[in-house]
Structure 1
Amino acid sequence: MSQERDPSIDLLVVHGVVVTMDDQRRIFADGAVAIKESRIIEVGSTAEISKKYQSKRVLDAGGGVIQPGFVDAHVHLSQHLGRGTIPDSWPEEKEHDQWLPYWTTMNEEEGYCSAMLACLEMVRNGTTSFCDSGGRFAGELNAAVVEKVGLRGMVAEVCWDRPPHAEVSVGDTDACLQRLERLAKALPAGPEARVWAGVGMAGMGGGSDRLLVEGKKLADRLDLTMEMHQSFGASDVARYREYAGGKTAVEHLADLGILGPNLMLVHMIRTEPEEVELLARSGTHICHCPAASTRVAMGVSRLGHFPEMVNRGINVALGSDSGNYSDYFDVGRQAYLAATIHREFKGEMPTITAEQALEMATINGALALGQGERIGSLEAGKQADLVLHAYARPEWRPGLDVVNSLVYSAQSVAVDTVIVGGEIILENGRFKRVDEEAEYRRIDRAARELYQRMGWRDRARWPVL
């Protein structure tokens, strides 16, 4: 029996190559997306959808690709103002020589500007949802910036009871748990939420066993996602083994009982085969940040088991990490790396396909954030988070295989219009909610003032005259 539909809708996007990422992975060569309020009503051919609905507004994609917005499953909004300040000559272990004074000197205006810079970049590169791993200040500061731009995101506060430096302590275990619960109540998740709180942990030995266990209980009780860094480099893996009595990180986390489908582990470069099995059996999600590793030589293509994770059925998402690791917030570029760097080391074709990389960049990210029912694909009933690419670009031609073109050549270069929750937040390359030029002036001023107070000198190896 057919269900009657309301023919009156708010927005109709037509004449695009619609990459749905639905269960059948359908692609409509001349497709359309019907939107009412914040949700998708129907996806199909332009000819069919245009006959069914009367829309207040029609957007013609002009033959360009229409895709679900990218999901960046791991970012640090508060670190973006520090981008480009760590020289290539520094080993990764020296990163805190910049991060510590940056973090402790930053004020709330600079925190706002860092988050704004990150959000502007994500939108321009086709990201509609993200997960922030902990801001410098109260989570509401980053949440306000996200709301101002119109993005969708899960935010957190830095949470560690075993901090790397006394200067960045946020209190003991009880204080950390109180911070987590406070933010979860202040920014509740919900079917229409643009910004909500996650249970963010520093990980990599920064949290005690009690903090991890109680944090996971909080996530279970409030139906939230818990995320944490893990197994990034040789030193943190060695320290964790010592702390865990010789066990691997995943074995120890399994013993604590916190593995599961509402946990996302970020990085996971240095994993053992037995850890992959534990992750697969538990339904734990993984966030692969390929640029963050390659930028600072952490060995992800040599040591990472990401192709094996994908083949084992583990849900692997993609993340951009931070301003001085990948240096950019662009999930399209992350997808390119995910699809290529592992085959280069292994000498195999393929290890991760273009189709799998695009899944990692969209629906897998949504699942990792606990939002698979709301976002990540273009389907009736889901939030209308979509990206329109301009076709008038050489990177899209000849475009005979749309997924190959998206992952290997076009990526985010032709992002033209971005829609979040049915609202156009970027149209024809122009932001709708914010004055981009004014924000850049504010960002530039804040960066200069921050680095002057830090006493940070330019470390450029070429003369700047």
Structure 2
Amino acid sequence: MPDATSPSPIDGIARRVASVWGIRSRRMSEDRGITGGQNSGPVLVHAAAAVDARGVIAPAAMVLDGGEILDLGSPQQIGPVAGGMVLDAREEVLLPGLVNAHCHLDLSGPGPVPPESSFSEWLDRVLALRGDSTPAAMAKAVEKGIELSLAGGTAFVGDIAGFPRRPQLDALRASNLGGTCFPEFFGLGDRQPATCSEMAAFLRDAGVKDQAVRCGLSPHAPYSCGPEVIRHAVAHEVPVAIHVAESLDEAQFLADGTGAFREKTERLGAWNDGVVIPGSHPVEYVLELLGSHPAALVHLNYIEPHHLPLLADSSATVVYCPRASAYFGHPSTGVHQYREMIEHGIPVALGTDSLLCLDTPDRISVLDEMRLLFQRDAVSSEQLIKMATHWGAQAIGEDPSLVDFSTGSIGGVMALKSDSGTPTLDEVLQSESIPRWIMPPQMFS
């Protein structure tokens, strides 16, 4: 399976992400806690195919030992493995564990629910749900979300942690998932200094880098966080995630300070005399505040063509949540421009958003986002696996090599059958098969 030989604009973004966030490979890093697995020796897996962001090997033979890939090639290239057991997956396709670049695991408790009549009313429901939850209930909801994520073939997450934040982070760090927890903060106008102090205190208490689940920051959105809050998040040089251009109400509020979100900020007591309306589009406003800092820009349901070169020139990774956008009816006219983004050299990762807006109560997985885009939009499986692995890792500040089949440590290896009996990734994406772990994610911390 050859590596890419020619650099692309997206490769340049990945290098900037690594340099700013200090991404360290877990391949040979003892301090990241990679250890051997439960097996007494290597395992040789024979599969119909092994597929990752770099290509396809079919048929495939993979040698695993603990949490590492020792070798990969055709069965003829690999041959027998002395002293190891053989696992037959010749009717299945092997995939690396996937990256859910945007989720809200603390909203997993109720399960899927019907949509509200407007996005603003939906936000009210989420606020009420969080307001009624105790820290113990939040932790339990995250634990449910972790279980459903593992059931869907997820190895890494970019999880948004609402208030009180710390129970969600602790639950993730006690799990087998890796990734980044993004504690969520709000603060407009005169409340910005207090929010900035709160962010700094949380990072000091939580620890930032030397954990399997590292801690980033999520200034919620440009309509709920002032410029000082977003700049302060950037100054900490940790992964940043922010909801951007999710709704037309957001665009209206940032343009002239009116509409449903103005009414909501006043009703919630968030409006104050210090609030300054930027008078610009959310994408332009946020990119100016971020500068060259990498960030996960989530949703981007409402952008204009002239925003594409701006995004391409930034260090941002877009995170698209297809099922969530469809659930809310976004965009209300036309189609999402994720394909145009990719054509402009903008990396686009996949996320699920919360279980509340999904149609799979038994799992939380970007595998189902891949299936939607494959079946609805005819996106190639080669493009989709890149969105669900390498670009997802980039969005959350993770090492992309942990979600491909290069030799060394791996976040997880799973196998999938197709409903048709033809073991290719295209057929898997046409099916509803559930992944089974060949090598499940291991507790990194």
Which consecutive residues of structure 2, in runs of 5 or more, have no partner in the other structure?
1-38, 257-275
Alignment RMSD: 2.9
Q: Tell me which residue corresponds to 2:422.
A: 398
Tell me the number of residue pairs that the alignment of Structure 1 and Structure 2 aligns. Answer: 384
How far apart are residue 103 of structure 1 and its match?
1.0
Distance 1:180 1:278 in 2: 32
Identity level (%): 20
How far the C-alpha of 1:176 sits from its partner, in A, is 3.1
Q: State the Cα distance separating 1:162 from its structure 2 match.
A: 2.9
The aligned counterpart of 1:453 is: none
| Aligned residue among 425, 429, 435 for 1:407 | 429
User: Which letter maps to 2:252?
Assistant: A
Amino acid corresponding to residue 258 of structure 1 in structure 2: G
Describe how 1:112-151 pairs up with structure 2 within 5 A.
Answer: 112-139=139-166, 141-151=167-177
2:251 to 228, 234, 237: 237
Counterpart-to-counterpart distance in 1, 2:333 and 2:351? 16
Q: 1:20–1:265: structure 2 CA closer, same or farther, 3 Å change rule?
A: same
In the other structure, the counterpart of 2:179 is: 153
Q: How far does residue 132 in structure 1 lie from its aligned partner after superposition?
A: 0.5
Distance 1:133 1:396 in 2: 37
Q: Which 4+ residue blocks in structure 1 deviate beyond 6 angstroms?
A: none
* Residue aligning to 1:181: 203
Equivalent residue for 1:94, pick from 113, 117, 121: 121
1-side partners of 2:287 and 2:163: how far apart?
A: 30
Deviation at 1:373, TM superposition (A): 3.9
User: CA separation in 2, counterparts of 1:419 and 1:188?
Assistant: 27
The TM-score with structure 1 as length reference comes to 0.75
1:137-183 CA distances to partner (integer Å, 9 max, x unpaired)?
233x22443344422231122211139xxxxx998233233245225
Report deviation, 1:109.
2.0
Q: Does 1:324 align with 2:356?
A: yes
Residue equivalent to 1:253:
286
- Equivalent pair of 1:15/1:63 in contact (CA under 8 Å): no
Q: Distance in 2 between matches of 1:179 and 1:83?
A: 32
Matched, 1:205 2:205: no
Q: Using the alignment, how far apart are the partners of 1:299 and 1:146 within structure 2?
A: 32
Could you tell me which of 93, 96, 100 is aligned with 1:72?
A: 100
Q: Where does residue 241 of structure 2 map in the other structure?
A: 227
User: By how many angstroms is 1:216 displaced?
Assistant: 0.8
Q: CA, structure 1 residues 336+22, in 2 after alignment: closer, same or farther (shift >3 Å)? A: closer
2:299 aligned partner, one-letter code: H
1:298-447 equivalences in 2 (<5 Å): 298-299=330-331, 302-326=334-358, 328=360, 329-341=364-376, 343=377, 350=378, 352-389=379-416, 391=417, 395-399=419-423, 402-410=424-432, 413-417=433-437, 419-421=439-441
Rounded to whole Å, the distance in 2 between the matches of 1:303 and 1:240 is: 22
Greater relative contact order structure (CA < 8 Å, 6+ sep): 2
Partner of residue 307 from structure 2, selected from 275, 282, 287: 275
1:377 Cα offset (Å) = 0.9
Q: Retained in 2: the 8 A contact 1:153–1:195?
A: yes
Q: Which residue of 1 aligns with 2:234?
A: 216
Provide structure 1 residue ranges, at least 5 long, that are not aligned to the other structure.
Answer: 1-7, 164-168, 344-349, 426-465
Which letter does structure 2 place at the counterpart of 1:246? G
- CA shift at 1:287, angstroms? 0.3
State the secondary structure of the residue aligned to 2:236. helix
Contact 2:43–2:63 (8 Å) recurs in 1: yes
| Residue identity in the other structure for 2:106 | S
Aligned to 1:439: none
Supply the AA of the counterpart residue of 2:381: A
